[in-house]
Chain A
Amino acid sequence: MTVKHRLPLLEMRGIVKRFPGVLALSDVNITVHAGEVHVLIGENGAGKSTLIKILSGVFLPDTGTILFEGKPVAIRNPRDAQMLGVSTIYQELNLVPDMTVAENIFLGREPMRLRRLGIVDRRLLNRQADELLTTLNLQIDPQAVIKSLGIAQQQMVEIAKALSLNAQLIIMDEPTAVLTTHEIDQLFATIAELKRRGVAIIYISHRLDEVKTLGDRVTVLRDGGWVGTVQVADTSIDQLIRMMVGRDLADKFPKIPVAPGEEVLRVEHLSRNGVLHDINFYLRRGEVLGIAGLVGAGRTELARVIFGADPLHGGQIFMHGQPIDIRSPGHAIRKGIALVPEDRKRHGILAHLSIKHNITLTALSDFSRRGFINMRQEDAHAQDYAAAMRIASPDLERWVHYLSGGNQQKVVIAKWLSSRADIFLFDEPTRGIDVAAKVEVYQLMNELIKRGAAIVMISSELPEILGMSDRILVMRGGRICGEFLRADATEENILERALRGSPENLHRQTEAWCE
C-alpha cells in the first residue's frame, strides 16, 4: 500500500513496563501510519490499556523508544502527548456535563473579547465550534449542554475537541461498547472522515467484526507480549482469535451436563416499575440457566430483585415450592442465595479489606459466638476457599486492592462460595478477566452443579451463554422474550429474540457478539 513509502507517524519499539509483581508489557512494538486505522486487540489484561496509557503520557515506560514522525520523543505527561498531537478518547468521557458543547471543545482555550478582563467571546466560541462540527458532518448544536446529549454524540464532541487540538493520532478505547447500531454507523462515518483527512487512529476493540469493517492493520497483544501485526485483509477472524488466545477455542467451555433435579426457585409475574415486566421462570437443581440480552435489557435488575437488593412491585418468588418474600440481601444469603455482581469494583470487592476478610464477610455468623469471631476457624475457612479458587496470592492478609482483576473476581466468588449458598446468581461472571481465569470460573460452576447447586448466569458474551447453559432465557426491554434448550439455541435465534431488528442489523450484531 501507499502508506508504506512514507515515514510512519508513530513507532513504539521495545516497550517494557513493569508494575510491582507484574510484567505488564514486555518488548511491545507498534507502528502507525497517517490515515490508518490500526486496531489493537487482545484479551483483558493483555496490556492494551497499559500501552495506550504510555502513549498518552499517563505511564512512563521502563524501557523502549517512541518515535513520532521519525524523531525520538519523550512523553512524560498527558500534556506532552497533547503537544505531539496525540488525543485519547476514553470510555469514560472527559467532558464537563453541565457546560455546553462549544465550551467543552474549547475548555481552557476560549476565544476572549477583552483579554485582560477574561471575558469569553461567546459568539465567536459558538461559531468556531459550529464550523468544526459541520466539517465533521455532525449535526450537534454547539450550545447544547453536554448532559442533554446521548453518549454517542458526546463521543463525537470528544472527537471534535481532539481535532481542534490538531490531533494527528486519535486513540479510541472501545468506543462502540456503549453505542447502539445506528450510533455505531455514525461513528464509523466519522472515522472514515478522519482517515480521509490523514488522521491516524488506534482503535481498541473486543468486537472482531469491527476489525474487519474498519481496520487497516491489527496488532495483537497477549499477556503483555506482542504477538504480531497483520493486514486485516489477509487475516480471518479465526486466525485473530487464535492469535489472541494462543490456543484453540475447543477447551474454552468445559461444560459438564448434569441431569436436573427438583425445582429450587420459581418466579411468577415478577415486575418492578419501569424495569421488569411480568417475568416468569423456574430453576432446577443441577442446572445452569443462562440469561442473554443486550445491556439494559433488565437482567441485572432481575438478579437484584431476586437477591432482595431492590424491592419488587408485583409477582411472587418461590423457593423450593414455598412462596417467599425476600426482604434484604442478608435475608437472601440466609436462604442460600448468592449474587456475584456485575460491577466488581462497585459491588463486589472491599478494596481495603484483606483477602481473608473479603472471603469470610458473608459467613461470619458461621464461626462467631455472641458477636465474637473465632479467629482460628476464620483463618481455616479463608484458606480453604482461597485454595479452592486458586487465588494466586501467598498472603491472605494482603489488601484486595493490590490483586489483578482475575484474582479479585476469584476473591468475590470465594466470598460467595463461603456463604454456602445453593442458588448462585452470576452476573457477567467472567467480565474483565483473562482466558485462563475464565476457564477456572467455568470449572467452578461445574463443581457447584455437581454438588447440587443451581446457577443463573447472566452474560453478554453469547459464546459463554451457548457454551455453559443448559437452558437459555432471552430478555429484552425488561421482559423475557424467548427460551431455548441448549440443543436448540444458536447465536442467530438468541439474537433474533434479543433484538427483533432488521435482518441487516441482525447480521451486524451477530458478528459483534462473536468475540
Chain B
Amino acid sequence: MTTTPSDVIHDIGYRHYDGPRLGRAYARRSLYAQSLRGAYGLGRSAKSKVMPMILFAVMCAPAAIIVAVAIGTSMTKLPIEYTRYAIIMQTVISLFLAAQAPQSVSLDLRFKVTPLYFSRPIERIDYVAAKYAALATALFILTAVPVTILYIGALLAKFDFGDATSGFAKALVAELLLSLLYAGLGLLIAALTPRRGFGVAGIIALFTLSFGAVSSVQAVASVQGSESAIAWLGLFSPITLIDGVQTWWLGASSSYVDNAGPSSAFAGCVFLLVLLAVIGGTFGLLMSRYRKVGLS
C-alpha cells in the first residue's frame, strides 16, 4: 500500500564492489594516459598547464607562419625541409623536456607517490614503460603537430604531393626516434633526484652543453678541413645524433657545418646503433634506478 516517497535521501552505507577488476595491462595503460595528460598539464592545476601550452604554441607558430607565407606567395615548395623543422626548434623541444620530465617522475619521488604505485598490482617495468611511453608520446605530439601543419599547408598550396608526403613521412620517423631518445635521457636525469629544479637544470645542461661543445669542436674541425671528424663528432650530442641518423638513413640534408653528415654506410650504421643503444640503455638504467625505490 505504501509507496516510497521520492524526496528521501537514503544512506545506502558501504557497498562492496562486484564488478570486473581489470589487470596489470589496464593499470599500465591508465598510468600511461594519466602521465601523457599530465605532460600537458591536463588534470593538474591551472599553473601546471601554462608552460607546456606556451611551448606547444611556440613550437607550432613558425609552421603556421611558413604555411601562410607559402600559400600567400607563389612558392613551388616549402622554404624548409620537414626533417629540418625539429632541428631548428631544438631549444623549444629541450625546454619542454626539461619542464615535463621532472614533472612526470621527480614529483612522484618527492611526494612519495611511487610507493603507492608499487602497492598496486603493477610491477616496476610497468611503471617505467608507462612513464617512458607517455613522455615520448608527448614529445612526439609536440614535434609531429607542426610538421603536420606544414604538410597540410603544402597540400593546400598544391605543392608536389609525392615530395610532400615522403618528406612528411621521413620527418615523422625522425621525430619518433627523437622523442624516444629525448624521453629516455630526460626521464633518466629526472629520476635521479626528487628535486624538480635539479632535474630541470640537469636536462638543460645536458642538452645545451653537449650541443654547444659538439658544434664548436665541429667548427674547429671545419676550419682544419677535416670532414669526417665533423661527422663523427655528431655522435656526442642528442640533437646531432638524430641529425646524423636522418641524414644517412632518411636522406635529409645535414645541419652540420659544411653539410658534413655521416656519408658512408658504416658511419650511418654506427649512428643508428648508437641511437638505439642510448634508447635501450636509458630504459635499462631507469629500471635499475627503480629497483631501489621500493616502499619507502
Same complex origin of A and B:
no
Q: Which residues of A contact B (CB under 8 A)?
A: none
Q: Which residues of B contact A (CB under 8 A)?
A: none
